[in-house]
């Protein structure tokens, strides 16, 4: 009897240790790592032997936008979500010491992946994270196992009407217009980005309140103004991004908030032109679709990624 009890105790201890290991693997942990002149903050969850997914946030957000998605997927995937320079908790050099352009942000993210040893990964790209991620894919097509684009545009027809004014600014970037586009950092504007087109009562104040705090840190507004002007470099690269798709045919899932006024549904449907096998889904939400539909998006991601990278 004593021997049986000892054996039972050993089994229970082993099961407990296994459960604790699983729990620890699935927990979100928080880190900083030096990448050139930037001390990059990132969130991580899931065992490192699982398929990797790099999560790239948008404007004016940070890796905080993935706080609901990561627990949904950490049992099957290794998830890494960095904050870009001038966003979130990443320590940002001054404009005199650092070029706030999408090319340079992409280079920092590229070196970040190399620094943490990420050699093969799928990407979740959203808003600003899309042209950053698409640059990584063009530079290293062999590293990309799949792409999940959530309102991450690369087609002219995906640009909503608001971009007409920005295109005029890009052609004639006067100081007056630069000041005018600083309205993008106003609390009312940020709240609108989160709530427009989303079912009433489905978006909490946490995300937009934190975003407003970050964009108003000292020096951040001018850094962000540099990026608003440099967004023209992303539109100029649309033909190159599309060529990457045609040449490499990466598995792609587009999950779009169908009421987004910035990147409209035509941008999601356009993926089919270059990727006939692309999967396209719409959710009844706006720009920040994860705020209201992270469980549905996680389900679609899980089904898609398990098909294409297992």
Nearest Cα neighbor of 149 from 123, 113, 120, 186 is 123
Does the annotation mark 287 as catalytic?
yes
How many whole angstroms separate alpha carbon 189 and alpha carbon 212? 10
Q: Checking phi first, is residue 157 left (phi over 0); if not, alpha (psi -120 to 50) or beta? A: alpha
In this structure, is the dihedral angle defined by the CA atoms of residues 199, 203, 209 and 210, taken in order, positive or negative?
A: negative
Which residue is catalytic, options 57, 287, 293, 294? 287
CB neighbour class for 56 (10 Å; exposed up to 12, middle 13-18, buried from 19): buried
Structure tokens at 44: 């991580």
Query: How many residues are recorded in the chain?
Result: 310
End-to-end CA distance of the chain: 45
List active site positions.
287
């Amino acid at each position: 009897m004593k021997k049986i009890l000892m054996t039972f105790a050993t089994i229970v201890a082993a099961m407990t240790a296994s459960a604790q290991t699983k729990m620890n693997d699935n927990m979100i942990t928080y880190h900083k790592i030096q990448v050139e002149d930037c001390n990059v903050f990132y969130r991580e969850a899931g065992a490192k032997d699982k398929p990797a997914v790099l999560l790239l946030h948008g404007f004016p957000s940070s890796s905080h936008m993935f706080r609901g998605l990561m627990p949904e997927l950490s049992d099957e995937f290794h998830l890494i979500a960095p904050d870009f320079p001038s966003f979130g908790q990443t320590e940002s050099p001054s404009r005199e010491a650092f070029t706030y352009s999408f090319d340079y942000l992409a280079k920092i993210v590229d070196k970040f992946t190399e620094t943490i040893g990420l050699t093969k990964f799928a990407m979740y790209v959203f808003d600003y994270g899309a042209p950053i991620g698409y640059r990584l894919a063009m530079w290293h097509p062999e590293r990309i196992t799949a792409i999940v684009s959530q309102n991450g545009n690369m087609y002219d027809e995906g640009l909503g009407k608001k971009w007409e004014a920005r295109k005029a600014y890009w052609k004639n970037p006067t100081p007056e217009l630069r000041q005018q586009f600083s309205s993008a950092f106003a609390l009312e504007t940020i709240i609108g980005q989160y709530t427009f087109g989303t079912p009433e009562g489905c978006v909490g104040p946490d995300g937009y309140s934190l975003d407003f705090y970050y964009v108003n840190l000292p020096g951040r507004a001018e850094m962000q103004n540099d990026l608003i002007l440099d967004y023209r470099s992303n539109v100029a690269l649309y033909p190159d991004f599309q060529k990457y798709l045609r040449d490499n045919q990466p598995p792609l899932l587009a999950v779009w908030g169908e009421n987004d006024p910035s990147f409209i549904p035509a941008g999601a449907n356009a993926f089919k032109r270059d990727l006939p096998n692309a999967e396209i889904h719409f959710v009844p939400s706006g720009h920040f679709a994860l705020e209201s539909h992270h469980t549905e998006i996680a389900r679609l991601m899980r089904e898609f990624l398990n098909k294409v990278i297992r």
